[in-house]
């Protein structure tokens, strides 16, 4: 096993739990939790049809502006493609954005390639932005510890390969999980307390 695979395995085995000062939470979601698929966006390319709305796309372009600009230039003078996923939670008068970003020069750990490689997801930082009313209140960047999947193609459809999140209002915890080849990837389960209840 190479160094990248070993590091990725160690990261995937660690549950991220710090969000707005909260401590680690159990990654076991409550029964009946409603799951939503994160929307994806693509910048500087059109490799697939993105699912982000026009409003989400504009917000992602603003959130990740520096990273998109730093994605690098290809030999033909065009920028490398950049990808982002987004989910949002609204609770009382607060809105929280969950988002991840990946590109040629990103901080993500990319999936391995070659014979015998199975996993398609990258492992990336998670950015959480908390809005109170119309103004941005808090922004936090969590470590490279979150699985990220995006895109759609005939061999690996979005329906079977994506990121989902669910918010439990009783605990104030948001759960994230990765669906790969139509199955949950246990190593990618995460739980973050984003509201104090």
The pLDDT tens digits for 79-117 are 889 999 999 999 888 899 999 999 988 889 988 776 667
Distances, alpha carbon 78 to alpha carbons 42, 43, 84, in Å: 14, 11, 19
Q: For the chain, what is the domain count?
A: 1
- Whether the CB-CB separation of 153 and 48 falls below 8 Å is answered with yes
- Whether the CB-CB separation of 130 and 63 falls below 8 Å is answered with no
| Long-range Cβ pairs for the range 151-155 (8 Å, 24+) | 151/40, 151/42, 151/47, 151/48, 151/83, 152/48, 152/49, 153/48
The percent of residues in the chain predicted with pLDDT above 90, rounded, is 54
pLDDT of residue 151: 83
pLDDT of residue 26: 56
pTM exceeding the 0.75 threshold for the entire prediction:
yes
Is the sign of the CA dihedral 8, 11, 13, 19 positive or negative?
negative
Residues with Cβ within 8 Å of 136's Cβ and at least 6 positions away in sequence, in order, are 129, 130
**Per-chain mean pLDDT for the chain:** 83
Tell me which residue range forms the domain holding 56. 3-193
pLDDT-derived band at 165, boundaries 50, 70, 90:
very high
């Amino acid at each position: 096993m190479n160094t990248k695979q070993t590091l990725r395995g160690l990261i995937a085995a660690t549950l991220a739990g710090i969000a707005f000062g909260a401590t680690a939470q159990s990654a076991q979601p409550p029964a009946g939790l409603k799951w939503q698929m994160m929307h994806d966006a693509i910048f500087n390319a059109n490799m697939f049809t993105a699912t982000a709305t026009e409003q989400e796309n504009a917000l992602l372009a603003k959130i990740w502006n520096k990273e998109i600009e730093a994605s690098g230039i290809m030999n033909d003078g065009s920028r490398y493609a950049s990808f982002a996923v987004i989910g949002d939670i609204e609770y009382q008068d607060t809105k929280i954005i969950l988002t991840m970003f990946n590109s040629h020069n990103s901080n993500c750990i990319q999936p391995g390639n070659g014979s015998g490689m199975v996993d398609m997801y990258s492992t990336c930082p998670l950015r959480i932005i908390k809005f109170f009313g119309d103004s941005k209140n808090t922004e936090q960047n969590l470590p490279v510890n979150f699985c990220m999947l995006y895109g759609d193609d005939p061999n690996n459809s979005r329906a079977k390969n994506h990121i989902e999140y669910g918010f439990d209002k009783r605990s104030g915890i948001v759960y994230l999980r990765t669906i790969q080849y139509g199955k949950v990837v246990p190593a990618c389960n995460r739980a973050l307390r984003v509201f104090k209840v």
